[in-house]
Amino acid sequence: MTSIKRACAVVTLLFASAASVVACTNLLVTKSASTDGSVIITYTCDGEFHPILERMPAADYKEGDSLEIKDWHDNVRGKVKQVPHTYAVVGEMNEHQLAIGETTFDGRLDLQDSTGFLEYWDMMSLALQRAKTAREAIKVMSDLVDEYGYRSTGESFSIADKEEAWIMEMIGSGTRGKGAIWVAVRVPDGYISCHANKARIGEFPLDDPENCIYSENVISFAIEKGYFDPNAGKPFLFNEAYCPSTPRNHRYGDARVWSIFRRAAPSLNLSPDCHRAVEDAEPYPLWIKPDQKLSLKDVFALMRDHYEGTEFDMTIGVDAGPYGSPNRWRPMTWTLDSVDYVWERPISTQQTGFSFVSQSRSWLPDQIGGVYWYGVDDTYMTCYFPLYCCIDSLPESYTRGSLQKFSWDSAWWVFNFVANFANLKYSYMAPEILAVRAQLEDSLFALQPALEDTAKTLLAQAPDAAVRLLTAHSVSSGEHITNRWRELGEYLMVKYNDGYVKDEKGRPEEKGYPDSWLRSVVRERPDQFRLPVRADSVAESRLVD
């Protein structure tokens, strides 16, 4: 009997804390929508937690072996039959270039089965261990919940292999219900899709198994529960049946979908009305064709968004503070004078624990084709580095640390230090941070072709040497970035200490506050800071402490 190993940081997730918010964003890019033919998915795993990057080696098991499924307190919840062979997994990508991400939409909470067995992260881990393709992963997950039961609330999964990208949405069938209700659709080649804590699959074909697979009770169960009236003359929509639209989830989820789509396809001129919950507004499509094919760098950029350049731009306004910080501290909602308010929820948020951008490339051997670009903390200020899916070790700074104790040895804490310190003078520090990020990522992009050419040559002659090469590059890249970010944090602390800004000679300069913010201060308290002018006195030219 073996114990199920938690394949990545997702299982040290926010669910251990009831106060945490379940919130993630996924983007899916198909082969013909990417510049190089990669299938790409992204995943921001958002919540107040310290991620631990893990790797699971391939393994063989005997007949009768089983896996123990444990809860957050390490209590065994039950067992799952083991398969004869499991695949190696790095983070959320396996050795066959299969990658899986998710976002939670909750949906109808009365359908959650607290007596069920498998949580969504169990299913993701098991699918990565047991499947080579997206279609196989869908079957693994659906078969598992049929046999063992489903414990989570509503989930949207992004599933990508070397050829295809699929969205699978699943919800339970109530306490002690049987299995789960689900539908999976293939994103058409040449298109992109995304989801963000709101169910996205609406109408779907019932007779196209090449492009759509679903549980046989997906419609009948909705009719039985009164979620759908077949005599109303309207098509069945999975999202509206199992995750009805509300002003809250429009604002929280659809806004992020809109922002990805508006940037990838400006020509569509998508209206903000849907995410502002305007009555009868047109819902956003499940997928779109981007105006231009997306590079890996473009995808990184799409995940680094605070609605800049729109009327919802989080870097402007009094709520951004004097230095234009896009971060808003939780809770997201508040009530003032009996009126309810909510902050914007951006794609890039300080609550992100880790994120990834996966590349699955059919024209390369699996050892080289699968790349898991990984970063910790806020996507806007993180620096992604490559982890090849064949590697046999990880950069240590990403495998250690605790939320309860700061440590310069933890990559997550290093990135958190820089991002948090930047909030003190964001408009000054952010450009310096982004410049370092760009230099590091551009260097990694530039190295990739030569590295992979060498790995291909080695793979044909000495496969173990190819794995060693890719492992060494992955590990050294991660550690170099952590070291560079630590240096960056120390540099920022010295340059911006006590609110000053040191010049090129190290002399502190008084920069004060921008006029726009000072006007807000004066409007609120016009007489508090006014210096009286007396005719019989000469105004001092400068006040000193």
pLDDT (tens digit per residue) in 455-466: 999 999 999 999
Is 114 in the same domain as 8? yes
Q: Is residue 24 one of the residues assigned to a domain?
A: yes
Tell me: do 443 and 314 sit in the same domain: no
Tell me what pLDDT residue 538 has: 54
Q: Is the dihedral of CA 520, 523, 525, 530 positive or negative?
A: positive
Q: Which residues pair with 100 in a beta bridge?
A: 159
Q: What is the pLDDT, as a whole number, of residue 7?
A: 35
Residue 344 shares a structural domain with residue 385: no
In the chain, the number of structural domains is 2
In a domain, 245, yes or no: yes
Are residue 403 and residue 270 in the same domain, yes or no? no
Model pLDDT for residues 309-324, shown as the tens digit of each residue: 999 999 999 999 999 9
Cβ neighbours, 10 Å, residue 460: 10
Contact between 192 and 33 under an 8 Å Cβ cutoff? The reply is yes
Residue with tokens 């066959």: 96
What residue spans of 108-153 are helical by DSSP H? 120-130, 134-148
Cα dihedral across residues 129, 134, 132, 361: positive or negative: negative
| Residue 314 and residue 413 in one domain | no
Kindly state whether residue 540 falls inside one of the protein's structural domains: no
pTM: 0.94
Q: Are 42 and 176 in a shared domain?
A: yes
DSSP state of 215: -
**Whether 314 and 412 share a structural domain:** no
**Same domain, yes or no: 149 and 256:** yes
Q: Which residues of the chain have pLDDT under 50?
A: 1-21
384 and 339 in a single domain? The answer is no
Q: How many CA atoms lie within 13 A of 457 on its CB side?
A: 6
Domain that holds residue 107: 2-352
Quick check: helix, strand or coil at residue 341?
strand
Tokens of 455: 């790995």
Q: So what's the pLDDT on residue 19?
A: 36
Would you tell me how many other CB atoms lie within 10 Å of the CB of residue 142? 22
Residue 208 inside a domain? The answer is yes
Residue 215 and residue 205 in contact, taking contact as beta carbons nearer than 8 Å: no
Residue 383 domain-assigned (yes or no) = yes
372 plus 304 within the same structural domain: no
Task: Let me know: does 124 contact 92? Beta carbons within 8 Å.
Answer: yes
| Residues pairing with 43 in the sheet | 26, 356
In angstroms, what CA-CA distances link 243 with 14, 202, 508? 22, 10, 55
108 inside domain = yes
Q: What is the pLDDT of residue 544?
A: 53
Please give the single-letter amino acid code of residue 238: F
